[in-house]
Structure 1
């Protein structure tokens, strides 16, 4: 049975390290949530380690700069593990070939910058779809357009047997009050059409392997029973935590705010109904991280 808590401090001493989602927990795509920032700062003062685990399709250092612009200071976290870094390892080891068709926006071009952990990386070239061996999907060309606008391209790619590398498994995010589609929505469509999609972010294992390596780089060997995953994505953060055997704290005021009637805290009956529908049982729930 999921326990609804009022403040993270109620359970903080049960855990040595946190794997914390960013969008919907620490910020809304425009600015930070001050109470969440303070909760992480207070936790770190007690010796706890905070690893931001995000499905952002970019390198961790670029995410860190973005967090600073949003008002999330360096003293609120210890390390960052991104879906982009996990996926880039696969890209430069040839997971989808050397000639790739790129789906994304201009700010995602950094995805193709070399990653140091790969020795002897393959040479990657962005080419038109007709010349491609595989697809790199960092997100829609237009995040407000329905994924179905890519159906004709995906039919061609499927018939050619192309694999799609999905750099961000998230389906949607909320930027302020506006909902946008993510790379996961395109990968979901491609898979439904019979194509093969490769995932590296939450809820899939590669990003958790990377998060554990980030902890090891901090000289932390936390007992897995003392790692808590925090997030607002029931099918990413919470499902991923379950798959890894970690406890979880579900932030109901993010993607599930409407379903749980969260203003400050979730409605207990609606939360229970939502979790039953999604077949998930997070260890704890709270309206907003504080």
Structure 2
């Protein structure tokens, strides 16, 4: 496998692209604080080169997540459009209305369901399908806490709609479980899973639609760069779409791609990619100009 090219900074390749499809959590913030160098790099691209479309596996609609970015001091100049897995998943949920839907996830994710006309189910016994955004308490719960409940859904052959394909994200200095980890368990138990976020096509359709709107013309896919730290979501999604990718190798992978000198080790980054049969054209430890 060809190793990714170590990238000293986004400025080295900015002129090659019109559109950046940039991941959010793990690239520009960690759930506790934003990273100024990454935000400034995106802002400079917006000013001097093209347009940044944020593409997140957040299970909430993008309009609801903007407030979180503001709280984390992510400058509005860092992005021009924003699409989420929640945006893409709402279409899947709407097709299954009125349900009833057995909803699993924290209260903060309820905006996902607003206006869809879905009835509530109390569990597997009275549900038409399951909708998962993540653990109810992601600070303490693991997928194993849901094994028995999810097995009941499999026994009834209920389809599970997962609004966040991420398995884990970094929150501060910890990794917490996301909806994708519950979806993995459901599939392991023999259940049927549907996802619309990264790495799946629907979220990229939305993002490229936004890109075309910003450009005022059709998108030249050879001039689109995907940026992200998730190998099975960001990188695999870029590969499936035939788009160039910048792998932010620190993120959820910690120091696994760092060499003895503290710099990016392209071979170690390549090992992370190879483990999931993926490829990235470029790699860096942290996004910066």
Shared topology, TM-score over 0.5?
yes
- What is the correspondence of 1:44-63 to structure 2 with a 5 Å cutoff? 44-63=46-65
Contact 2:57/2:197 (CA < 8 Å) preserved in 1? Answer: yes
For 2:72, which of 61, 70, 74 is the aligned residue?
Answer: 70
Contact 2:160/2:192 (CA < 8 Å) preserved in 1? Answer: yes
Give the whole-Å Cα distance in 1 for the aligned partners of 2:284 and 2:164: 25
Query: Normalising by the residue count of structure 2, what TM-score does the alignment of the two structures yield?
Result: 0.94
Give the whole-Å Cα distance in 2 for the aligned partners of 1:238 and 1:222: 20
- C-alpha RMSD of the superposition: 1.5
Contact 1:265/1:288 (CA < 8 Å) preserved in 2? Answer: no
Give the whole-Å Cα distance in 2 for the aligned partners of 1:273 and 1:155: 34
Give the whole-Å Cα distance in 2 for the aligned partners of 1:227 and 1:188: 30
Match of 2:25 in 1: 23
Give the whole-Å Cα distance in 1 for the aligned partners of 2:268 and 2:245: 19
For 1:252, which of 241, 249, 252 is the aligned residue?
Answer: 249
Specify every segment of 5 or more residues in structure 1 that has no aligned partner in the other structure, as ranges: 115-120
For 2:275, which of 271, 274, 277 is the aligned residue?
Answer: 277
Instruction: Give 1:220 shift.
Output: 4.2
Match of 1:117 in 2: none
Match of 1:185 in 2: 181
Give the whole-Å Cα distance in 1 for the aligned partners of 2:276 and 2:220: 28
Give the whole-Å Cα distance in 1 for the aligned partners of 2:42 and 2:256: 27
Instruction: Give 1:264 shift.
Output: 5.9
Q: Deviations over 1:237-257 (max 9, x none)?
A: 000000000000000110122
Instruction: Give 1:30 shift.
Output: 0.9
Q: How many residue pairs were aligned?
A: 282
For 1:159, which of 155, 177, 188 is the aligned residue?
Answer: 155
Secondary structure (helix, strand or coil) at the match of 1:126 reads coil
Give the whole-Å Cα distance in 1 for the aligned partners of 2:108 and 2:217: 33
Instruction: Give 1:217 shift.
Output: 2.9
Bigger drift between 250-259 and 32-41 goes to: 250-259
Specify every segment of 5 or more residues in structure 2 that has no aligned partner in the other structure, as ranges: none
Give the whole-Å Cα distance in 2 for the aligned partners of 1:272 and 1:205: 24
Secondary structure (helix, strand or coil) at the match of 1:207 reads helix
- What is the correspondence of 1:114-193 to structure 2 with a 5 Å cutoff? 114=115, 123-129=117-123, 130-143=125-138, 144-193=140-189
Instruction: Give 1:222 shift.
Output: 2.1
Contact 1:136/1:167 (CA < 8 Å) preserved in 2? Answer: yes
Contact 1:264/1:288 (CA < 8 Å) preserved in 2? Answer: no
Give the whole-Å Cα distance in 1 for the aligned partners of 2:217 and 2:80: 11
* Structure 1 stretches of at least 4 aligned residues deviating more than 6 Å after TM superposition: none
Match of 2:224 in 1: 227
